[in-house]
């Protein structure tokens, strides 16, 4: 059970500031296993308001915002999905392999990397390019239409003309490739770009930290965390509690919606712009029921309505925290076109999450008798 404070204590979220944070964070390159740019940006920014910032050996970033009592962490992941260079052709093109354990030999239906601008992370910096495939004019007669493109049909064009030239640029097997669009705005409320998964979460966490820092009415000792290597199996999150023994976690990530042509709304009832989604269970875990209930109550109290869902074919860092004994909720912002360069979120949902978390963090929880 929760007790709610007066509505006038709620933060008015500066939308332009929030959108600027989403733009900055989503455009940073931070592929799985190479999240340094994102983590360095967060550590530097969080130091401007946090009492203490630490970086773990595996590059998780943790920031203590303030307060006393049970230790609450608001968490998102820094990494974005990526391709890896597996070899370089004599023509100066980069052959690729995905970030995950592939058993198909080709991109699955849900992953469409071709014909997109990309950024190659080299030993010396970044180089722009495109994810390419030979066009129908030159291979059309040789391919059947069955099966679609295989990984070896895709390669990276960076404008080099030989393998030696590529090597001289600091590119070799193991270098990572991310999509490279600029964030765009559509209509009055939509933000579109790469890595909304999970940088919009880290923008939310940042505004939550800014809003709570220096307040004397926190009901918890409040921390922020940005983890590494979520996309390949929740690796970074598994050691977060070895750095700091948290009691309560709110894990932030993208939420699945069915409000576009294609998905069955019986499976995906959530909609963009209709508020944060509290996730009760996903492919790997059931989230903490009492914490979900209290977050929903906090949302009600501040006029930030929530949606409730179960997510099929989905996992989050929250599972690792529950495995390690931390009471954990998964709070998501509805997102269309997940794991694409046009991940789409509604800024009103992001604002709703911020208001909900601020209300929760300043509301003492009354234990059930």
Asked whether the CA dihedral 256, 258, 262, 265 is positive or negative, the reply is positive
User: CB 311 → Zn ion: shortest distance, Å?
Assistant: 11
Name the minimum Å distance from CB 44 to Zn ion.
Answer: 23
Task: List, in order, residues 6 or more apart from 164 with CB less than 8 Å away.
Answer: none
What's the min distance (Å) between Cβ of 303 and Zn ion?
Answer: 27
What's the longest Cα–Cα distance across the chain? 73
How far apart are alpha carbons 155 and 110 in whole angstroms? Answer: 19
The Cα 300–Cα 194 span in angstroms is 31
Q: How far apart are the C-alpha atoms of 235 and 287, rounded to whole Å?
A: 18
Per rule CB under 5 A, is residue 327 in the interface with Zn ion? no
Residue 317 or 327 with smaller CB distance to Zn ion: 317
Nearest residue (CB) to Zn ion, 332 versus 363: 332
| CA angle at 143 for the pair 84 and 138, rounded to the nearest 5° | 80
Least distance (Å) between residue 234 CB and Zn ion: 10
Nearer to Zn ion, 197 or 294 (CB): 197
Round to whole Å and give the CA distance between 130 and 158.
Answer: 7
Q: Pick the piece of the chain touching Zn ion (CB under 5 A) from 63-71, 84-92, 178-186, 196-204.
A: 196-204
CB of 36 to Zn ion, least distance (A): 18
Nearer to Zn ion, 197 or 210 (CB): 197
Q: Interacting stretch for Zn ion, rule CB under 5 A, among 55-63, 66-74, 252-260, 347-355?
A: 252-260
Among 35, 198, 221, 349, binds Zn ion (CB under 5 A): 198
Q: Choose between 197 and 349: whose C-beta lies nearer to Zn ion.
A: 197
Q: Which is nearer to Zn ion, 132 or 256 (CB)?
A: 256
Q: Which stretch binds Zn ion (CB under 5 A): 112-120, 152-160, 205-213, 253-261?
A: 253-261
How far apart are the C-alpha atoms of 185 and 105, rounded to whole Å? 35
71-77 sheet: strands from edge to edge: 52-55, 61-66, 221-227, 71-77, 248-256, 327-335, 277-281, 307-310
**Per CB under 5 A, 197 contacts Zn ion:** yes
The 8-class DSSP code of residue 236 comes to G
Which x/- pattern over 96-115 shows residues binding Zn ion (rule: CB under 5 A)? --------------------
Options 6-14, 116-124, 249-257, 350-358: segment touching Zn ion (CB under 5 A): 249-257
Q: Of 173-192, which residues contact Zn ion (CB under 5 A)?
A: none
| Residue count, binding to Zn ion (CB under 5 A) | 3
Shortest approach of Zn ion to residue 302 CB, angstroms?
Answer: 25
d(CA 52, CA 54): 7
**What's the closest the beta carbon of residue 53 comes to Zn ion, in angstroms?**
22
253 binds Zn ion (CB under 5 A): yes
* Strand order from edge to edge, sheet including 343-346: 184-186, 190-193, 343-346
Task: Compute the Cα dihedral for 137, 139, 145, 149 and give only its sign.
Answer: negative
Rounded Cα distance, 50 and 164, in Å: 47
We find the least distance from the C-beta atom of residue 263 to Zn ion, in angstroms, to be 18
Look up residue 286 and give its DSSP letter: B
Contact set with Zn ion (CB under 5 A): 197-198, 253
């Amino acid at each position: 059970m929760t007790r709610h404070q007066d509505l006038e204590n709620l933060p008015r979220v500066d939308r332009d500031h929030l959108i600027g944070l989403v733009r900055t964070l989503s455009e940073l390159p931070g592929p799985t296993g190479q999240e340094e740019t994102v983590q360095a940006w967060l550590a530097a920014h969080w130091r401007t308001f946090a009492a203490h910032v630490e970086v773990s050996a595996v590059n998780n970033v943790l920031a203590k915002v303030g307060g006393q009592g049970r230790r609450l962490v608001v968490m998102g992941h820094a990494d974005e999905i990526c391709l890896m260079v597996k070899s370089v052709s004599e023509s100066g093109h980069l052959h690729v392999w995905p970030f995950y354990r592939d058993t198909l030999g080709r991109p699955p239906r849900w992953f469409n990397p071709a014909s997109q601008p990309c950024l190659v992370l080299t030993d010396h910096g970044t180089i722009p390019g495109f994810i390419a495939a030979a066009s129908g004019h030159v291979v059309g007669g040789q391919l059947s239409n069955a099966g679609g493109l295989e990984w070896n049909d895709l390669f990276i064009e960076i404008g080099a003309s030989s393998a030696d030239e590529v090597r001289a640029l600091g590119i070799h097997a193991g270098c990572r490739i991310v999509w490279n669009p600029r964030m765009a705005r559509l209509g009055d409320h939509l933000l579109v770009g790469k890595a909304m998964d999970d940088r919009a979460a880290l923008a939310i966490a940042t505004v939550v930290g800014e809003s709570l820092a220096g307040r004397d009415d926190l009901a918890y000792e409040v921390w922020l965390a940005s983890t590494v290597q979520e996309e390949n199996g929740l690796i970074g999150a598994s050691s977060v509690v070895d750095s700091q023994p948290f009691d309560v976690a709110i894990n932030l990530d993208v939420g699945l919606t069915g409000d576009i042509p294609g998905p069955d709304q019986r499976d995906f009832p959530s909609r963009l712009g209709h508020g944060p989604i509290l996730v009760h269970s996903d492919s790997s875990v059931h989230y903490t029921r009492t914490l979900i209930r209290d977050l929903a109550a906090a949302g009600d109290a501040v006029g930030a309505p929530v949606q409730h869902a179960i997510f099929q074919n989905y996992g989050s860092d929250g599972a690792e925290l529950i495995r390690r004994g931390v009471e954990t909720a998964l709070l998501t912002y509805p997102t269309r076109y997940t794991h694409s360069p046009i991940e789409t979120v509604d800024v009103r949902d992001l604002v709703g999450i911020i208001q909900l978390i601020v209300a929760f963090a300043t509301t003492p929880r009354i234990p059930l008798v």
